Structure 1
Amino acid sequence: MVRWDGVNEFVAVAETESFTRASERLGVSTAQVSRQISALEARLATRLFYRTTRRVSTTDAGQLYYQHCRQVLDALEQAEQAVTHLQAVPQGKLRLTAPVTYGEQVIAPLVNDFVLRYPGLEVEMHLTNQQLDLVAEGYDLAVRLGQLESSSLMARRLGSRTLYVCASPAYLSAWGTPRSLAELDRHNCLQGNLRHWRFQEDGRPRTVRISGNLRCDSGRALLDAALKGVGMVQLPDYYVQPALDAGALVPLLTGYQDDDDGIWGVYPHNRHLSPKVRLLLDYVAETLGSAAA
């Protein structure tokens, strides 16, 4: 009979390249992971990992063993998911990550509603603006905004967001309303992480370098500054839409507005998409689509 001891620990270390991160993923001690790997290497009579003080990597034998183990684990996961799918009730652990502000304002409320619908789920949601390694850190799903970088992840478009350039009526009364992109250099443009704003001109994307007396990596802080008349700002709709609807901010340069950005659900390509993840993606996409209609 084939022994299963150490396989989960081996795969976790191979994917995270770390005994510590593997132990965190599995919820066991680092010592336990190390013992299981050592016992597995002894049983196979081969070395599976190169170990240094900085990283852990698979040997040639380890990489070959990983490929086979990953296929076996994927097949087992698919078998379990098939049974879960028959039950038609999502359950078990679901780990996802999303950007902080969009996660707080949009994704977290949807996930909370989803959990109410399926109380058998155990959801772990991590809000961060860092792009985490889903495979290495054991996430089932990530919500990402804007243009996706080329990667091995699978992606599904869930919705879209619109970038607005806007300012308060008080600011425009004092400094005038820009009618063209060339006029931006005469205005106080509040800066985020980037020193340029995005537009469309004559059907082509264009970026314009901007400058101003305030720079901050918080969209909420920039929104507050714009509302108080400090300057103009370019922010996504989920920051500014209420203020636009209330007239507290005025949309500007709408004839140069860039195409909408995508809102994406991404997940590892080497994992079978489980019913719980698929249902959550369906729910988010349906809700965002209804909100935009």
Structure 2
Amino acid sequence: MARWDGIEECVAVAETRSFTRAAERLGSSVANISRQISRLEDRLDVQLFQRTTRSVTLTDDGRIYYNHCRALLDGLVEAEQAIGERLSEPTGRLRITAPLSYGERYIAPLIAEFTMHHPRLEIDLQLTNQRLDLIESGIDMAIRVGVLEDERLVARPLAHRAQFVCASPDYLARFGQPHTLAELKNHSCLLGTLDHWRFTDQGERRDIRVTGRLRCNSGPALRDAALNGLGIVQLPDYYVKEDIQAGRLVTVLDAFAPAEEGVWALYPPNRHLSPKVRACIEWLRRRLKVEYPVSGADQRL
């Protein structure tokens, strides 16, 4: 490509301040270096270097051109490195954090399979509901569900999850089924860590404050309480989907179902995404869609 001719020679002369040392760096001859620089100056119609018997220095135009050419060569090297990393086998230690229940149900089994496919990789998977600081904790990747809060991190979508409001047939037989959001105040709601539930009403998000006699920060415990007829609960699909399919729980207020939440892979903003993190993200994306389809929405990812 003619437009690239002379660029490496220009950068080498600028950085070594010598046609001789530039030729040594590039494994070329002084005559060829001089010829390439002259052709480049003729094409650009500017003088790039001031030449004396003792030194070679950049002109003002040469300094501007050198800065851009240095960036181009750096970008070329980085592009080649990125391709090399992509094709290389993931190795080393990969530290991942994920929410406890979602991690136990979905992430941990997939990570175990991923580990089997990459014998040179060591996995450290931490399941916790604490929002660990990836940068301070030295964690390579986090799985997060819902609204993202840390703008310092790069986010890749993996899947979606849905929220269901449901109760046991026994509870609904005794206390009736709510048909409007306002009717929730007449029911015993099983509370998690929040005092409100999310809904969608005429296309707009609505947060409805709910009350009840039982509060617990455990999804499985709230599910068990709902199965035992203690009240209505709002829980993610992975807690209650099988119970709904089996008829042990019945969904209510379906017309006000909240928008689905994203499941994300987050990682620190590195210049190049490491092969181990890239491979893990792609593995989770593919496997979550095939093995654990939450809803039709994740097919859009």
Instruction: Give the drift of 1:273.
Output: 1.0
Residue identity matched to 1:221:
A
Residue identity in the other structure for 2:155 = A
Name the SS of the counterpart of 1:222 in structure 2.
helix
The Cα offsets for residues 117-140 of structure 1, whole Å up to 9 and x where unpaired, read as: 112110001111111110111011
Shift in Å at residue 82 of structure 1? 6.3
SS at match of 2:134: coil
Amino acid in the other structure paired with 1:135: I
Runs of 4+ more than 6 Å apart:
77-82
Are positions 1:211 and 2:211 aligned together? yes
Distance 1:265 1:209, change over 3 A: same
**CA drift at 1:85:** 3.8
Q: C-alpha offsets along residues 103-127 of structure 1, whole Å, 9 cap, x if unaligned?
A: 1110000100101111211000111
1:189-211 alpha-carbon deviations (Å, 9 max, x no partner): 00000000000001100010000
Percent identity, aligned pairs only?
Answer: 49
SS across alignment from 1:136: helix
- Map of 1:112 onto structure 2: 112
Q: Quick check: 1:163–1:258 contact (8 Å CA) kept in 2?
A: yes
Within-5 A mapping of 1:128-139:
128-139=128-139
Which structure's CA Rg is the greater one?
2
Cα distance in structure 2, aligned partners of 1:126 and 1:228: 32
**Which amino acid letter does the alignment assign opposite residue 128 of structure 1?**
T
1:229 — aligned with what?
229
> C-alpha displacement at 1:270, in angstroms?
3.1
SS in 2 for 1:263: strand
Distance 1:142 1:80 in 2: 25
Inter-CA distance 79–122: structure 2 relative to 1 (3 Å threshold)? farther
- For 1:86 and 1:143, the matched residues in 2 are separated by 24
Whichever residue aligns with residue 165 of structure 2, its letter is V
Residue equivalent to 2:199? 199
Counterpart Cα distance in 1 of 2:276 and 2:133: 21
The residue aligned with 1:122 is 122
Distance in 2 between the 1:86 and 1:226 partners?
A: 49
Query: Per-residue deviation at 1:272?
Result: 2.3
Within 2, Cα distance between the matches of 1:168 and 1:208?
Answer: 21
**What do the CA deviations read for 1:164-208 (whole angstroms, capped 9, x no partner)?**
000000000110011110100000000000000000001100010
String of CA shifts for 1:148-175, please: whole Å, max 9, x gaps: 0142100001000000000000000110
Q: Are 2:156 and 1:156 equivalent residues in the alignment?
A: yes
Distance (Å, rounded) in 2 between the aligned partners of 1:91 and 1:246: 43
Aligned to 2:58: none
Gaps of 5+ in 2: 1-77, 297-301
CA distance in 1, matches of 2:107, 2:98: 8
TM-score (norm 2): 0.69
**In structure 1, distance between residues paired with 2:123 and 2:218:** 27
Where 1:200 maps in the other structure, the secondary structure is: strand
**Amino acid paired to 2:236:** P
Matching residue of 1:142: 142
Q: CA deviation at 1:86?
A: 3.8
Q: Rate the CA distance shift 1:165–1:85 in 2: closer, same or farther, 3 A.
A: same
Contact preservation (8 Å) 1:188, 1:231: yes
Distance 2:248 2:258 in 1: 22
1:119 maps to a residue whose letter is: P
Query: What SS does the corresponding residue of 1:221 show, helix, strand or coil?
Result: helix
The amino acid of 2:172's aligned partner reads L
